[in-house]
A and B are shown apart, each in its own frame.
Chain A
Amino acid sequence: MEIPVDWYLALSAILFLLGVIGVLFRRNVIIILMSIELMLNAVNISLVALSQATGDVSGQILVFFVMSVAAAEAAVGLAIVIAIFRNKLSVDVNDFNLFKH
């Protein structure tokens, strides 16, 4: 029996929301990074499912791009986190508010 596409979309939406919540409420920059990855991968599920449903392969092609982009982002993101850790000896986002108002 084939699982309807709506289920995939629902799963994707839930995972995406979890990612959003993680970005909004976790203090640790590394976990925020992971939450962002979760958001991207949640969308990947949607893309694959929709690609299957519409019969157009370009959705799946985009998934590969997303994965490589996510890898690049993770690399840059972690580099930034390391640099800021060297300065502040902290990975708590609340500590980084030199600029405001």
Chain B
Amino acid sequence: MDLSTAYDALGADLQATLSLWLIVLGGLIVIVWDAFRERDALIPVFAGLILVGAIVWDLFQLTAEPATAFYGLIRTGGFAAFVNLLLEVSALCTIVLSVPYLKRIGKDYAEVYGLVLFAVSGMMLLGAANNLVTIFVGLETMSICLYIMAGLVREDEGGIESALKYFLLGAFSTGFFLYGIALLFGSTGSMYLAEIGHAASTSTSAMYWSGVGLLLVGFLFKVSAVPFHMWTPDVYQGAPTTLTGFMSTASKAAAFASLILVLFYAVPYEKWTLAVAVIATITMVLGNLVALSQRNVKRMLAYSSIAHAGYVLVGIVAGSAEGYAGALYYLLVYTLMNIGAFGVLALMEWDNESGRTQSLDSLAGMGYTRPFIGVAMGVFMFSLSGFPPFGGFLGKYAVFAPAIKAGYTWLVVVGVIASMVSAYYYLRVLYVLWMKDSTDPAAMSNDKRVALTVPASSTAVIGFCAVLLLVFGVYPEFLQMAVDFFSPSAVSIAP
């Protein structure tokens, strides 16, 4: 290839992945900006605008023909744009919710916004990767940013402990993940997903399957599937609440997207389904069961997010285009509900000791004093428990139905039982919000009321999530769209 065609290709590639570069550039600017004008109030605005720009760009990309860029290292259009949008929306909501939250806890470092942007760029790389090297780089970019975010409040014992746990276990699992990459590369001689799949379709070795298994370990760690989930509750509890929302949604979505691509392109067999089905089963059961006995709401939501990873895995087990599409759709609604739920929690935390415990009782009777938040939390909780007509119900349907088609009825039965159990702890939140009088007289002190001023920006984000959940619950346009990502025409893209 001579230089001029290479430049032409580069131009086209840069255009196709513009949102990624925009975000990377934005992140760099934020870091430099913060170095010169510390805690400038305009920095989050700037970061938000960058994300809005990226969202607009990816909305146009959504209908673009699927293709690859940079010598097949990364996918563009369709699937990639869908995942990018999901990640960008999650990040944008996080930034808007974080500004007042971080100010209130006195940690309004502006580099958080740079970290969010860098993390998103890593996630976008991960979620659209077409090559194992890209996957590794994306995964690590994302992870390192998340480790720092978890330990943002470094004076807080809990915060820094959660960062350490996340870091040690994350790096540990990265070791396995990398080993998996090496084994896959060694057994097939390529780093490209499609080429790996092609090579594997003629013959496979124990080395290949070990590679697949170790690769799965890395992904399952990131999505916090049992038994790789142990870090999740501790980290979610210790991290700043709005950033917990970000971790529990965007990083999971990116890891799942990448997992779907790997399984779809590089593992043309059904041999892995039993393993994933087993993991899905224990994830759903254990996540929901343990969530039942949690008194801390953040911890409860952490276990709930573990359980939800199990539901998504059910869709993946189906192994069909509908299953993968259902998983993507589930991630979309899950992102909205969890961002919203953590956003509400962030608003309801207040600054004295009892407020930081995030116990269920500290929410007692809030429904009537803060009806907007109460109603929105109602939507999130109903949706999380899979109650029609909210998005969560449709999401569950979208992952369960293909699994039934694929003959995994027992798995779906487990999932349904598990989600029925889950209704209990989700509804308990609503019960406390609406049907319980505040028992702690100090809880409604002036102190708390002041801390509870709800900024309009947070209201807007929470309302946005709640409304979208209702819309996606009755109008699942994206589900059909997601199925097309796995149509033969999309598959035919060469690496």
> In the complex, are there CB atoms of A and B closer than 8 Å?
yes
Which A residues lie at the B interface, using CB under 8 A?
9, 12, 16, 19-20, 23, 29, 32-33, 36, 39-40, 42-43, 46-47, 50-51, 53-56, 58-59, 61-62, 65-66, 69, 72-73, 76-77, 80-81, 83-84, 87-88, 93, 96-100
CA A62 – CA B191 in complex, angstroms? 10
CA A73 – CA B161 in complex, angstroms? 17
Contact A99 B136 (CB under 8 A): no
Contact A96 B161 (CB under 8 A): yes
Q: Give 9 nearest A-B pairs by CB, closest first.
A: A39-B175, A50-B186, A54-B189, A99-B234, A83-B154, A46-B182, A69-B140, A58-B191, A43-B178
CA A55 – CA B174 in complex, angstroms? 25
The residue on B at minimum CB distance from A58 is B191
Min CB gap B461→A, angstroms:
27
A23 contacts which chain B residues (CB < 8 A)?
168, 172
CA A53 – CA B189 in complex, angstroms? 9
CA A16 – CA B180 in complex, angstroms? 12
The residue on B at minimum CB distance from A95 is B161
The residue on B at minimum CB distance from A37 is B171
Given A50-B186, A62-B133, A99-B238, also A36-B181 (CB < 8 A): no
Given A40-B178, A62-B136, A76-B147, also A29-B164 (CB < 8 A): yes
The residue on B at minimum CB distance from A46 is B182
Contact B158 A84 (CB under 8 A): no
The residue on A at minimum CB distance from B178 is A43
CA A100 – CA B161 in complex, angstroms? 11
Q: Which of A33, A69, A88, A99 contacts B162 (CB 8 A)?
A: A99
The residue on B at minimum CB distance from A77 is B167
Residues B135-178 near A (CB distance < 8 A): 136-137, 140, 144, 147-148, 151, 154-155, 157-158, 160-165, 167-168, 171-172, 174-175, 178
Min CB gap A79→B, angstroms:
8
Contact B181 A62 (CB under 8 A): yes
A66 contacts which chain B residues (CB < 8 A)?
136, 178
B178 contacts which chain A residues (CB < 8 A)?
39-40, 43, 66
Min CB gap B459→A, angstroms:
31
Min CB gap A34→B, angstroms:
11
Contact B165 A77 (CB under 8 A): no
Contact A54 B161 (CB under 8 A): no
Contact A87 B160 (CB under 8 A): yes
Other than the known A83-B154, A98-B157, what 15 A-B pairs have Cβ atoms closer than 8 Å?
A: A9-B186, A36-B168, A36-B172, A39-B172, A40-B178, A43-B181, A43-B182, A50-B182, A69-B136, A76-B147, A84-B161, A84-B164, A93-B168, A99-B161, A99-B237
B164 contacts which chain A residues (CB < 8 A)?
29, 80-81, 84, 96
B392 contacts which chain A residues (CB < 8 A)?
none
Q: List 6 A-B contacts (CB under 8 A).
A: A39-B175, A58-B191, A59-B182, A69-B140, A73-B144, A83-B151
Contact A54 B185 (CB under 8 A): yes
CA A29 – CA B175 in complex, angstroms? 17
CA A43 – CA B136 in complex, angstroms? 13
CA A29 – CA B160 in complex, angstroms? 14
The residue on B at minimum CB distance from A16 is B179
